[in-house]
Structure 1
C-alpha cells in the first residue's frame, strides 16, 4: 500500500471516485441536481498550495482518496483557520480494510505540518457508516444545519 499526494495524471480515476461519492450521497440529499454534477475542482486542488489531495494505491491501482484544505473559520470562532476534509472515498472492493483511517492519518499530518490545530468535515446525518468511522477517528458533532423546503 502506498499513500501519496495525487497528481494530475490521477485525474481520470479521481473523477470516477467523485461520481461514486455523489451516487452514494444522492439518497441523503434531495437538493442535488440531476446528473451530471460535480462537487469539486479536483485538478485545481491538486495544484493548490492551500490543499492536499491524497490517494491510496495498492498494486498500482488507485483505491481511495481524500483532501484537506485550509479554510477560514467563522469570524467569531477560534482558531482563525482550520483544515477541512472532503472527497473521502474508498473503492467498493477495498472497503473495510482501514483505508479511510490511513487517509485520515495522512491528511491530519498535512494539517499539522501547516500549523492547523482544528479539523472539520461534513457528513449527511443519515450516513451512519461514515458517522461511525469519523467518530471512531475522534471526530464529534459540532453544528447541525437544518432546512425547510417551502415547495415540499
Structure 2
C-alpha cells in the first residue's frame, strides 16, 4: 500500500508519545546528559495547534510509520535571514526504516516551510549517529557547525 503523508491529529498523540519514548531511548546512549526515567522532548499537541509549527506523520494501513515537525524560530540579527524552520522529532520505528519515510516527512516539512516564507532549514543530529547524518545529507543537508560540551566534574584535578 502507498504511504500517506498527513498532518498529525490529536488522535495520533498516544502513538506519537510512544515514538517519543523510543526516540529518547535511542538517543540516551549518544547523550550522557539525558535524564533517567520518562523524558518529554516536545509538546506535540502544541505542534498540532500552533500556526508557526506543523507535525506530519506517514501512515500505512492505518499504522503510523514516521513523524517529524517543523517550527518557525527567530534567528540572530547578524544572519542574512531573520527566521528559520527547525526540524525535529524525525522518527521512524526500527521495523520501518530504510523505506524512504523520513524523506517523505522532510519533503512535506520543506513544502510547509516555503508556505511560511522560510527558506533556511536547520536541525540537530548527534555526531555519533552516522546513519541519521547520512540520511539528512542524502536529502540535501550539510554539516554546518559542531556543538561541543564539557562537564567539568569529569576533569581530573
Q: Normalised by the size of structure 2, how large is the TM-score?
A: 0.95
Whole-angstrom distance in 2 between the partners of 1:62 and 1:28: 25
Gaps of 5+ in 2: none
**How far 1:143 sits from its partner (Å)?**
1.3
> Per-residue CA shift, 1:96-123, capped at 9, x if unaligned?
0010111110110000111101100000
User: Counterpart in 2 of 1:26?
Assistant: 28
Aligned residues: 152
Deviation of the 1:78 alpha carbon:
2.1
Match in the other structure for 1:119: 121
Q: Point out where structure 1 has 5 or more consecutive residues left out of the alignment.
A: none
Look up the match of 1:10: 12
Matched, 1:48 2:15: no
SS in 2 for 1:16: helix
1:143 is aligned to 145
Alpha-carbon distance, 1:91 to partner: 1.4
Distance 1:121 1:44 in 2: 19
The runs of at least 4 aligned residues of structure 1 exceeding 6 Å deviation read: none
Instruction: Give the deviation of 1:21 after TM superposition.
Output: 0.8
**CA RMSD between the two structures:** 0.7
1:83 alignment counterpart = 85
Structure number with bigger Rg: 2
- CA distance in structure 2 between the partners assigned to 1:57 and 1:117 by the alignment: 27
